[in-house]
Structure 1
C-alpha cells in the first residue's frame, strides 16, 4: 500500500507534468493558428512566442526538483499506471535535461521561420529559398541528438523522438520486406492490370461544395463537433487534445476525392485524440502512444474504412446529393476510382496504397544521407528526382511537386517512417477486428461505425502510454508488428481490383 509520502510525491509529479503539457498544448493552438488563420506578416512574432513556450516547457521538465521526484518514486512500489507514468516522464526528462535551453529555443524559432520560407519556396518553385533553413535545421537537430546520446547515430536518436520503443532497425527491416513485396506488385499492375474506372469523378468542383461534402463525411463518421472543427491548410494535419481535436484539409479544383480521403485521414487522428482518457488529461496516460500508432489510426480510417467498396456503397448517395452530375456512378466504379494505382503520381499525400510507401522509403533514404553528411542540401532536388525515377519511374518537372511538396522538414527529421509503420499496423488491426467483431465490413456498408471505433478506443486510445509501443501492439493484436498482414491485404485487394488473381 502506498505511503502518504509516496502519494504526495506522485501527486506533485502529476501537477508538474500537467503544467508542462498545458504549455505544450498552448503551443499547438498557436501552431494551428499559424497554419490556418494567422496573417502572413505574423511569423516573426509567432516564432518568438512558440520559442518562448518551448523554453518554458523545457525549463519545467528539466527542473532539479523534477529529477529528485523521479529518483524518489523509482525506488517505491508503484501500481502499473503509476509505473508507466514515471517511466515515460523519466524518459522525457533524461533526454531533455541533456539539451541546453538555448538550443531548444533556437530550434523552435528556426522551425517557425522555416515554415513561411517553405510556403514561399513551394509557391515560387525556388528550392534555394528554403535550402538555408533546411541546412540550419539539420545542424541544430544533429547538435540536439549529440547532446542526448553522443555515442549513437544522430538519425536514430531523432527517430526515437516520435517512436521511442520501436527500433529503427526493425522498421528498416519492414521497409525491406515492403520493397520486395510492393515493387513487383506495382509492376504487375502496370503491365498486366485490367482497365478500371479511373475517370469516374472527372470534373471541376467548387471549394465550397467540396468543403460541404467533407463536412457531410465527418457528420456520417460521427465526428464530435463540440470538440473539433474543420479548416483548410497548405498541408492537411490534425492538432489537439481529447477536448479539442481540430482537423484540416485542402481542396483541388479538379479532384474532390483527395480532399475527401485527406479529411477521413485526419478524422482518424482526431478520433485517437478524442478517445484518450479525459481523466488522464495532461499526463502520459492521457496522451497518444507514438507517431507510428497515431498514423495507424489515420491510415486505418482512410484505407480500411474510407477506401472500401462497402464505404462507397454507403457514401455514394451523399456524393450524388452534392454533385448530381454523378447520378449514374455505381459503387463499384466509385471504389475503383478511389483505389486506382497512380504510377505517375508525384505527390505522396495523393498517392495510392501501393506507391505511397515508395514515397516514404525515398524520403527516408534522402534524410539518412542528408543527416549523415553524405548529401549536401543543394543536391537534394537532384537526388529526389533520381530516386523518384528509380522507385516510381517518374521525374517531377518542378521542385514544388518534388522535394518541396511536404512541410515536415520544417519540424525535423526521421518521422516519415511512421506513416508506413502506421499502415502496417492498421492492416494488423483490421485483421484482428475481423476476428473479434462480427462482419465489420457490413457495419461499414450500413454506416454503423461505432463498434469499430469503440474497439479501437478500448484497445488503443484509452491505453494512452500505459504500454510501450511493442507491448501495445501485442496487447491489441496478440503478436508483434509484422508486415505480413499489410502485404496480404494489398495483394488480395489490388489483385481483385486489377484482375490479377
Structure 2
C-alpha cells in the first residue's frame, strides 16, 4: 500500500534524527567539555523542534485515513505498526504549540532553580515554580483526556505505560499496601540477627570497570553494538545498534557501580534484542517504560541479587580486587550485602523491599495533584504522613530529602513514577513463569545464562510493541499483571 509505505519511510527517516539526538545527549552527559553546553543545548533544541515538526506533518493525517480505509488488507504486524505510528503521531499533535513552549520554559525554570533550592532546603521557592508546572500539566492532561476520552491522569499515564489506568494502579498498589509495611519491619528485624561485614575500599575505578565489563559480557551485552562510560547519573541511552550505558564509581563501595551496570545492562539487552526487521519503526521499539524497567530489574534483582549469582560475583570480585582471603568476600556475606534492607529517605538508594513504598507515596500525590484533589502547598504534609506510615520515617521540615529529592516533577513528568514499581511486579511475574520452564538457579550456577536470555528474547524482546502489555504478560506467564507474584518473591527471598 502506497500510503503505508510513505508512513513507514517517514517514521524511519525520523528515527535517524532521533538516533542523532540520543547520541548528542549521551555525549553531553559523558564527554562534552563544560564550555560546549550552551551551544549544544541550542543545537539539541533545534533538533528536537525539527523532530516534532516532522512528527506533526499535516499530510500524516491523510495517510493514516487512507490506510485505515484499507486496513482489512493489512497483516497483524502491519496493523500493529500503523497503530503505534498513529499513537505517537496523536500524542505529538494534540498539544498546541503555545502549551508546548510554555511547558518547556516552566520546566526549564523549575529544574534549574531546583538544583540550588534542594541544597538550600527551600520549599517555598521551589513550590512557587512547581505550581506553574502543575498548572500546565493539568492543562495538558485535560487536553489529552478530551482527545482520548479518559480521565486526565490516565491520559498522562498513557504516555509512559500505554493501556494502564489509575483504577488498575489503585487496585495493584492497594494490595501492596496491605502487606508491605509489616513485611519491611519483619525483614529488618530478621536481618538484625544476621551480622554483615561491609567490604572495605579502596576499590580502584579501573578494576571496577574491568569487573563491570566482564559481568556485562556474561550477561550477553554486545560491545560491538554498545559501550560503557561514566556520567553523573547512570543511564542507558542510544539506539539498539548503538547502545550507550553509563555508571558512576565509588571507590569505597564497588557494589553500587556493579549493580548499576547490571541494571543498565538489562535495559541494554532489551534494546539489543529488539527485532531488526522492525528497526526504525515505533512498532519495533520497547513496549513501555514499565516493561523496560522490568528487564533492568529482572537483571539486577531477579538475577544479580540471587544466591547463585552472588557466587559468580564473589569469585570474579575476589580476583578483580585481589581479596582472596577477605572475609567480606565470602559468598554468604556478599549475598547479605547485596540483599540488605534498610528504610531510608532517598528513593534512588532504596533496596527492592522498601522501594515500592517510595513509589506509592509519589503516585498518590501526583494522581491527586493532576485531578485537583490536592494542591502543591499540601505536598510536604502528605509526604511526611506517608513516609511515617510506610517506612517509619519523618520528613517534617526535611524537604531536600523528602518531597524535593526527585527531578521528575520539575519538568512535569507526571505519570512516570508508577512504571518503576510496575516494572518490579512484571519482573517477578516473568521470573515465576520462567522457573516453571527452566532450572533457573542451575543455569545461573553454570555461568552460561543463554537459556534465560533466549526465554526473554522469545517472550519479551522480539515482541517489541507488536502487542499490548497485557497480551505480552499473558502470553509469557498465562495471566495479566498479578501482584501476588511479587509478594511471594519478596517474602520468599527475605523471610
TM-score (norm 1): 0.89
Q: Map residues 314-329 of structure 1 onto 2, 5 A cutoff.
A: 314-325=312-323, 327-328=326-327, 329=329
- Residues 294 and 138 from structure 1, CA distance in 2 versus in 1: closer, same or farther, beyond 3 angstroms? same
Which secondary structure state, in structure 2, belongs to the residue aligned with residue 230 of structure 1? strand
Write the distance in 2 (CA, Å) between the matches of 1:279 and 1:374: 46
Task: Note the residue ranges of structure 2 that are not aligned, 5 or more in a row.
Answer: none
The CA deviation string for residues 269-291 of structure 1, in whole angstroms up to 9 with x for no partner, is 11111111222111023200011
Match of 2:336 in 1: 336
Which secondary structure state, in structure 2, belongs to the residue aligned with residue 420 of structure 1? helix
Which secondary structure state, in structure 1, belongs to the residue aligned with residue 224 of structure 2? helix
Q: Is the 8 A contact 1:292 1:419 kept in 2?
A: yes
Size of the alignment, in residue pairs? 487
Write the distance in 1 (CA, Å) between the matches of 2:125 and 2:419: 28
Q: Is the 8 A contact 1:58 1:96 kept in 2?
A: yes
Write the distance in 1 (CA, Å) between the matches of 2:448 and 2:253: 27
Runs of 4+ in 1 over 6 A off after TM superposition: none
Are positions 1:85 and 2:81 aligned together? yes
Offset of residue 195 of structure 1: 1.7
- Residues 83 and 112 from structure 1, CA distance in 2 versus in 1: closer, same or farther, beyond 3 angstroms? same
Match of 2:256 in 1: 258
Q: Map residues 307-386 of structure 1 onto 2, 5 A cutoff.
A: 307-325=305-323, 327-328=326-327, 329-343=329-343, 345-377=344-376, 380-386=379-385
Are positions 1:436 and 2:423 aligned together? no
Write the distance in 2 (CA, Å) between the matches of 1:120 and 1:48: 23
Which secondary structure state, in structure 1, belongs to the residue aligned with residue 362 of structure 2? helix
The range that moved more, 36-45 or 71-80, is 36-45
Offset of residue 492 of structure 1: 1.0
CA RMSD of aligned residues (A): 2.5
Q: Is the 8 A contact 1:296 1:422 kept in 2?
A: yes
Match of 2:155 in 1: 157
The range that moved more, 223-232 or 388-397, is 388-397
Offset of residue 232 of structure 1: 2.9
Aligned partner of 2:144 among 148, 151, 171: 148
Match of 2:409 in 1: 409
Offset of residue 136 of structure 1: 3.4
Which secondary structure state, in structure 2, belongs to the residue aligned with residue 157 of structure 1? helix
Q: Map residues 61-210 of structure 1 onto 2, 5 A cutoff.
A: 61-76=55-70, 77-108=73-104, 110-111=106-107, 115-122=111-118, 125-126=121-122, 131=127, 133-150=129-146, 152-191=150-189, 195-210=193-208
Offset of residue 80 of structure 1: 0.4
- Residues 274 and 351 from structure 1, CA distance in 2 versus in 1: closer, same or farther, beyond 3 angstroms? same
Which secondary structure state, in structure 2, belongs to the residue aligned with residue 414 of structure 1? coil
The CA deviation string for residues 118-146 of structure 1, in whole angstroms up to 9 with x for no partner, is 44445555556655554333233322222
The range that moved more, 226-235 or 100-109, is 100-109
Offset of residue 374 of structure 1: 4.9
- Residues 252 and 364 from structure 1, CA distance in 2 versus in 1: closer, same or farther, beyond 3 angstroms? farther
- Residues 28 and 447 from structure 1, CA distance in 2 versus in 1: closer, same or farther, beyond 3 angstroms? same
Which secondary structure state, in structure 1, belongs to the residue aligned with residue 353 of structure 2? coil
The range that moved more, 328-337 or 480-489, is 328-337
- Residues 401 and 303 from structure 1, CA distance in 2 versus in 1: closer, same or farther, beyond 3 angstroms? same
Offset of residue 29 of structure 1: 2.5
Which secondary structure state, in structure 2, belongs to the residue aligned with residue 247 of structure 1? strand
Q: Map residues 203-222 of structure 1 onto 2, 5 A cutoff.
A: 203-222=201-220
Q: Is the 8 A contact 2:290 2:423 kept in 1?
A: yes
Are positions 1:460 and 2:463 aligned together? no
Q: Is the 8 A contact 1:51 1:109 kept in 2?
A: no
Write the distance in 2 (CA, Å) between the matches of 1:75 and 1:451: 43
Are positions 1:22 and 2:16 aligned together? yes
The range that moved more, 314-323 or 118-127, is 118-127
Write the distance in 2 (CA, Å) between the matches of 1:402 and 1:210: 31
Q: Map residues 387-406 of structure 1 onto 2, 5 A cutoff.
A: 387-395=386-394, 398-406=398-406
Offset of residue 453 of structure 1: 1.3
